[in-house]
Structure 1
Amino acid sequence: MSPIVARRANGTARIMSATVRCNGGRWHVSFTVEVERAERTPDRPQSVVGVDVGIKYLAMLSTGELVPNPRHLVAAQQRMRALGRTLSRKTGPDRRTGLRPSKRWERAAARLGRAHARVAHLRRDGLHKLTTRLARKHGTVVVEDLNVTGMLRNRRLARHIADAGFSEIRRQLAYKTSWNGGRLLVADRWYPSSKTCSGCGAVKAKLALHEREFTCEVCGLVIDRDRNASLNLAALAAEFDTAGSGPVAARGADRKTRVRGQVAVKREPGTATAGQTGTVLPQGRTIDRVLTKAH
């Protein structure tokens, strides 16, 4: 038993189960423990940060910080292709004839498996460090409800989207904000964070993916589109806080904007409390309260 598990089990936690698995040639043991978690408070309880994830940069924060995208899969792609070609030249298993793989095939498969495991471990380590830092520092974190499954249908970007781990960022933030006494707010999937001007609130009808700068035709604001989106996400927190005490001045558009069959005119957000995940409603719909417990 590791010293960390032994220290936890010594009167402070109860081990419920243990799972043993082999990944990339290494054996891992995962313990499920029941422990009383002490109440914690973020370093800046009143701080609000909007997180806009992307491919060029892993995350753009409303504070102006750029989190670079390490692209672990792209960096290891050349080596993994070479290992895959080496594996294909070996005598592998054949279920139809019952042929067993050769020793060289097994060694080549193990090397390829270790390469894939290394990429997964690097990605997981980077995402955990990012989400832990955000959850411990800021009292409120605002993210988008992205349709990752639909985004993966883009053949040109699917590999980069999967390598970034958009869904994993949101999943980790959901429970880490709860652990640290903060809250996670999730903007609705149809909220036009990139099309909305963070200065005046006007909404563009169209904004192509290749347009990396947002130019407002109403107030003349010129800003990076990802930075603009993160500022709009951070601004949603104020509407969450006031949604339960009467009508909220929705950040809508001066003109109607078609968004996949919906009219983005006005948006009345829901409310959320600490330790829970709120959902901002799509524009053109109104509800008093929408709460989803963080898992």
Structure 2
Amino acid sequence: MLEFDALTKGFGDKKVLRGLSFQVRPGELYGFCGANGAGKTTAMRIALGMLAADTGEVRFEGRPVDSAGRRLIGYMPEERGLYGKMRPRDQLVYFARLSGMGAREAKARADEWIERLGVKMGPKDVLDKLSLGNQQKELIAALIHRPGVLILDEPFSGLDPVASDAMAQALTEFTRDGVPVVFSSHQLDLVERLCDRVGIVRDGALVAEGTVEELRGRTTRRLEIALEGAPAGWASAVAGTRVVEARHNRYTLEVEEQVPVREILSAAQTHGDIVHFAWRESSLTEIFREAVTA
């Protein structure tokens, strides 16, 4: 298990982390979400030893992560850090060797992952000549040494759908082997589709956490209603609700917890013929928006 325990971090008068705590279980894909500047990258850098926490610690398998423990981590930074004038395969072999892998195995693993993730390049191409998407397939550098933990900062940024699917499959294979995987992303549709649990951070503290279904259960209830023959604006008069979207004859209402649905149904029936009446599941984007603006 990977644990971020009560991390605090400040830069001068600016507090970036405020007691941030969360856990990533073995074999779990954990989506770490927050607005720009919320503290996600700072927390990841503390785990890698690139920054020191003011208080708190990061643990793996119950022990504080030290220099030896960091050798077990595969890390992909948001600011990509491979060498632009070096051939990608040579770099991947180099990083694998730094992690203790033999030369023959490092070359075989590099070729395997280059093929699997579809990196298209000529034998003499340097990194600067590759497309943005191919540059970001440097995820291979984080995977090549068979890490026991994966920490990935915006790994899907700039990838086309085919490359995103290949990356998602690779991450899923690691979780099947019991590897805890945490990644940050602004692509909340991907997080919703892939992750076992999601943590949402605001101003350096965790403000919501759970499966997407669990998070949906804590958000404001929304009801979709479509009527034929109803006067415009009828929904604004329904007690205990607020109109959040209105398109032609279809309305989405936020419903207060104590309001019985039958009362809303009865009110709707007095205004027209019901075509559609159903709860609407909140998307992760809506859940995120509600959590970071509350």
Bigger proportion of residues as strand? 2
Normalization by structure 2: what TM-score? 0.25
Looking at both structures, which has the greater relative contact order when contacts are Cα pairs under 8 Å and sequence separation is at least 6?
2
